[in-house]
């Protein structure tokens, strides 16, 4: 009997590692979008506003569908859902390699975004089901794979694509094939879970919401403000950091992508810390320390030299990224029996607000210059102080 109990309730570490790998491969492939911006700008003679529009199209595709996917699979669990995500991403990558004009780029990045909108809520749901109650740790394992994949993407673009041309993006389809194998393994486990739990994938170990409806809505509003604060700074770095480095310090495209890798690698490392720390000291304090604690580094970055800029970007990426696992678990604890919906809603909101912010920043850079915009976004982590209004949720 104890073995059966452990099997049903204990942490499924091999599945969590597979989910982390699937997230790594997905976000590695997703990272090709932003990483190819300097190449696309040169190939197609694009403005910064058009670069922002590309991000907007991608982020909207990767956001609007996420809560819909979560709601659909909450009611109709499907073992092959994340394999479907890999198929969409692969098609988009192939399109990106051959897109002859901006409209074709829009179609390609939209397809890549749809793949992301399927994978994130579904994989996050399965992560929670496989956590054995250690939800912060499990979510960090899942998230660190995605952040590490996102950080490796620009590095591989710098090594494989930038020196040889955009067609070399096709090499990334090899990662899609690996992803198919990994997600097939996850699908088999999920099928067994559904069979043993009566097809109820929503079960999370909670009976009801910890707060009333009005309080839950108010807290969700605060969480959305925190996500806006986080992504205002994160998108400013992720989408335009290479251009900032090229314009201010005169570095090469390859060098700027390597420095972007430093920032994105820091976000991967920080993610691994946020979840377990939230299990230990509480989600609220991790969220507050993470977002508001980024401010000293972000405020100094626009005034630093090249070496200090790289160091400050690493520190800000590490501290800021520890927030999202805590935010997501906190949101799941608000609506504990709607894991797919909550995951899709907050992943989707993060992607969507990131796309809107990126488009606005691109237009503002065209008007005011990239250094002026960087000085403005350096203030955004201070908005994270609203985390003091989050209530502490019980176990």
Q: At what angle do helices 370-377 and 339-368 cross, to 10 degrees?
A: 140
Residue 84 exposed, middle or buried by CB count within 10 Å (0-12, 13-18, 19+): middle
How far apart (Å, rounded) are the C-alpha atoms in residues 291 and 287?
6
Distance CA 159, CA 163 (A): 7
Across all residues in the chain, what is the average pLDDT? 81
CA–CA separation, 309 vs 301, rounded Å? 6
Q: DSSP character for 383?
A: G
1 pLDDT higher than 60 = no
pTM reported for the whole predicted model: 0.67
> What is the per-residue pLDDT for 361?
87
Q: Span 201-218, mean pLDDT?
A: 66
In contact, 171 and 99? CB cutoff 8 Å: no
Mean pLDDT of 131-141: 78
Q: Is residue 3 pLDDT above 50, yes or no? A: no
Look up residue 43 and give its two tokens. Answer: 């190939």
pLDDT over 50 (residue 272) = yes
| Domains, the chain | 11-389 (1.20.1250.20)
What is the model's pLDDT at position 208? 66
Q: Are 256 and 241 in contact (CB under 8 A)?
A: yes
pLDDT at 327: 82
In this predicted model, which residue has the larger pLDDT, 307 or 359? 307
Residue 217 and residue 250: Cα distance in Å, rounded? Answer: 47
The residue that leads in pLDDT, 147 or 111, is 111
Nearest to 49 by CA among 261, 189, 240: 240
The two tokens of residue 133 are: 């109650």
Contact 292, 381 (CB under 8 A): yes
Where residue 394 falls among pLDDT bands split at 50, 70, 90?
Answer: low
């Amino acid at each position: 009997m104890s073995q059966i109990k452990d099997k049903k309730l204990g942490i499924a570490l091999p599945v969590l590692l597979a989910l982390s790998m699937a997230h790594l491969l997905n976000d590695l492939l997703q990272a090709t979008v932003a990483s190819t911006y300097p190449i696309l700008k040169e190939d197609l003679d694009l403005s910064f506003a058009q670069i922002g529009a590309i991000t907007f199209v991608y982020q909207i595709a990767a956001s609007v569908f996420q809560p819909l996917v979560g709601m659909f699979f909450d009611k109709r669990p499907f073992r092959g859902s994340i394999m479907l995500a890999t198929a969409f991403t692969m098609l988009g990558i192939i399109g990106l390699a051959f897109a002859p004009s901006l409209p074709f780029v829009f179609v390609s990045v939209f397809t890549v975004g749809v793949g992301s909108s399927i994978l994130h809520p579904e994989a996050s749901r399965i992560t929670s089901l496989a956590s054995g109650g250690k939800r912060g740790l499990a979510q960090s394992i899942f998230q660190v794979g995605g952040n590490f994949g996102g950080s490796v993407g620009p590095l591989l673009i710098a090594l494989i694509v930038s020196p040889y041309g955009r067609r070399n993006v096709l090499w990334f389809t090899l990662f899609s094939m690996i992803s198919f194998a990994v997600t097939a393994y996850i699908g088999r486990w999920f099928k067994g879970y559904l069979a043993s739990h009566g097809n109820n994938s929503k079960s999370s170990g909670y009976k009801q919401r910890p707060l009333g409806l009005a309080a839950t809505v108010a807290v969700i509003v605060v969480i959305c403000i925190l996500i806006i604060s986080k992504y205002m700074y994160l998108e400013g770095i992720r989408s335009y950091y290479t251009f900032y480095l090229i314009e201010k310090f005169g570095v090469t495209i390859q060098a700027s992508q390597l420095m972007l890798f430093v920032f994105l690698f820091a976000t991967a490392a920080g993610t691994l810390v946020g979840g377990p720390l939230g299990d230990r000291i509480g989600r609220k304090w991790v969220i507050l320390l993470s977002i508001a604690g980024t401010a000293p580094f972000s405020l100094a970055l626009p005034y630093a030299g090249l070496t200090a800029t790289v160091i400050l970007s690493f520190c800000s990426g590490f501290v800021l990224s520890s927030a999202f696992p805590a935010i997501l678990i906190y949101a799941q604890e608000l609506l504990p029996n709607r894991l797919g919906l909550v995951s899709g809603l907050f992943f989707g909101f993060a992607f969507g607000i990131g796309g809107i912010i990126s488009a606005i920043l691109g237009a503002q850079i065209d008007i005011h210059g990239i250094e002026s915009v960087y000085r403005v976004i350096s203030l955004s982590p201070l908005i994270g102080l609203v985390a003091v209004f989050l209530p502490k949720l019980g176990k």
